[in-house]
Structure 1
Amino acid sequence: MTQPRALITGMKGFTGRYVAAELQAHGWDVWGVGTQPDAADPRYRCANLLDASALQLVVEDVQPDVVVHLAAIAFVGHGDADAFYRVNLLGTRNLLAVLADARRKPQCVLLASSANVYGNSIEGVLTEAAPLNPANDYAVSKLAMEFMARLWMDQLPIVIARPFNYTGVGQSEDFLLPKMAAHFRRRADTIQLGNLDVWRDFSDVRAVAQAYRRLLQICPAGATVNVCSGRMHSLREILHMMGRISSHSLDVQVNPAFVRGNEVRSLRGSADKLLGLIGDWEVPPLEETLRWMLEVA
């Protein structure tokens, strides 16, 4: 039986590496595309999302059965606001246009959006029907991508995933939990953080990769799906977990620059729709994920 072939954009990024490993572990023939050269990987192609001709060559070369679109500028504090729209919106449009024109169209296209499209103004459990209120350029670019993708849904079997916060080994210290873990690993004396008493939904990147694989396998075309644990932890609680695991304590200094105005106290996602589609799916307890991150040298 022929292996299903997957093309992952952004395969060399944090999430891409885990999605590639998940698919390979389940018998997929995994190919990647990104902007950083890697001559050592024969199944990796270098192309920019803004270069439609280069993307077309990659798609014709690989002829994927499925596409996982992860390539994006994901750090909210990225300094170039225009880049969010060039990469996250226009780059995605180029990809969808190329896939729609391909001689062999994919059987499923999974687009990674973000739970940031909900914003930070509505407290409680967020289902896919929650009001959309993006509060920064990153979130606006992702929501614009979702609306743009709907123009292609009559030509391509598109699934939109809205992951909530997730983390794991290899995530940039630009993100909060890896920053905290790094301070504990090097046994720093102090750390600067914002509001410690906000509660958020965190998942493990390995579980997110599994959810993406299972969505690819069933391909609920046209669906938008939260990917989340459905569990909340406060940053204060996470600090205590990391301290217990590492047997180290930090002096936490609250930096007013890191405190967001009008930030709601608690936000978590509803995974009901995801579970209804893919069946049983478990996110490891956050303490298990933190232990994994803290024990990496």
Structure 2
Amino acid sequence: MRVLVTGLEGFTGRYIQTEFEGHGHAVIGLQADLTNQEAVAAEIATVQPEAVVHLAGVAFVGHGDANAFYQVNLMGTRNLLAALGQHAPNVQTILLASSANVYGNRSEGVLSEGAAPDPANDYAVSKFAMEQMARLWADRLPLFIVRPFNYTGVGQGDKFLIPKIVAHFRDRKEIIELGNLDISRDFGDVRAVVEAYRKLIQVGPAGKTINVCSGRAHTLREVVSLCEGITGHQVEIRV
């Protein structure tokens, strides 16, 4: 398929390109600024995608500009869907990447897609708002939503949790600041995530919302202990 990917040059996008091209898909990265409605529409009309993987957005929860979450994650997605609805008659499936952050700060139990969203920060609110807005196109576009849990891999920026921990051990720093070490989280491999995205694109589960996760939880204490075992280095942890 001819697959248009937003955010192709980002962390996940690079893995998407390798995974999809490795299975015979033609991958094209969106060049237009998502906040520029006319530019997005013109590019969609030119590319004529058969499938879309929408990754682009402001992804770091600690990002300082709250407005950017809504301008890009919400309105940027709206511009994309409007362009697809008007200019992409042959699109067969559209994957919209939301986030498991929409579930909020729950620390116990298994989260199914039926769990009530309870977003606790601007990033999560913008993603949940994006999901709700996308429903306006659900009767016109074959879209579905994925809610990936935490995932990581080579090339992810050090501002994210696992790369931050790894960088402290790699650089043999003496002190690291972390939150509650005993909260369990699902940490996935980016390669498994993009494989799941590829298989979902091939199925095209229009109208569905799907959690993407490993199904296994680990505490930050376990992650730190693993790094200590690999490197032989210990750091002082400050909460």
Fold in common (TM above 0.5): yes
Q: CA deviation at 1:247?
A: 2.3
Residue 104 of structure 1 is matched in structure 2 by 89
* Partner residue of 1:56 out of 25, 35, 41: 41
Q: CA deviation at 1:122?
A: 6.0
Residue 10 of structure 1 is matched in structure 2 by 7
Conservation of the 8 A alpha-carbon contact between 1:18 and 1:206:
yes
Residue 286 of structure 1 is matched in structure 2 by none
Provide runs of 4+ in structure 1 moved above 4 Å: none
Matched, 1:21 2:18: yes
Matched, 1:211 2:196: yes
Conservation of the 8 A alpha-carbon contact between 2:95 and 2:146:
yes
Distance 2:48 2:193 in 1: 25
Identity %: 59
Distance 1:24 1:62 in 2: 17
- 3-state SS in 2 of match to 1:85: helix
1:147-296 to 2 correspondence within 5 Å? 147-254=132-239
Q: How many pairs are equivalent?
A: 239
Q: CA deviation at 1:175?
A: 0.9
* Partner residue of 1:128 out of 113, 116, 135: 113
Q: Which amino acid aligns with 1:166?
A: Y
- 3-state SS in 1 of match to 2:176: strand
Alpha-carbon displacement from aligned partner over 1:180-204 (angstroms, at most 9, x marks no partner): 0111111212211121111111100
Conservation of the 8 A alpha-carbon contact between 2:187 and 2:217:
yes
Conservation of the 8 A alpha-carbon contact between 2:107 and 2:184:
no
Alpha-carbon displacement from aligned partner over 1:103-152 (angstroms, at most 9, x marks no partner): 53310000000001100146210000011100001000000000100110
Q: What TM-score comes out, normalization by structure 1 length?
A: 0.79
Structure 1 stretch 118-127 or stretch 148-157: which is displaced more?
A: 118-127
Conservation of the 8 A alpha-carbon contact between 2:49 and 2:88:
no
Q: CA deviation at 1:69?
A: 0.2
* RMSD value, Cα: 1.0
Distance 1:103 1:30 in 2: 16
Alpha-carbon displacement from aligned partner over 1:36-76 (angstroms, at most 9, x marks no partner): xxxxxxxxxx3110111111221122111100000010111
Conservation of the 8 A alpha-carbon contact between 2:44 and 2:88:
no
Distance 1:192 1:142 in 2: 27
Q: CA deviation at 1:209?
A: 0.3
Distance 1:192 1:214 in 2: 38
Conservation of the 8 A alpha-carbon contact between 1:114 and 1:142:
yes
Distance 1:28 1:108 in 2: 14
Alpha-carbon displacement from aligned partner over 1:160-196 (angstroms, at most 9, x marks no partner): 0000110111111111110001111112122111211
Residue 146 of structure 1 is matched in structure 2 by 131
Q: CA deviation at 1:100?
A: 0.4
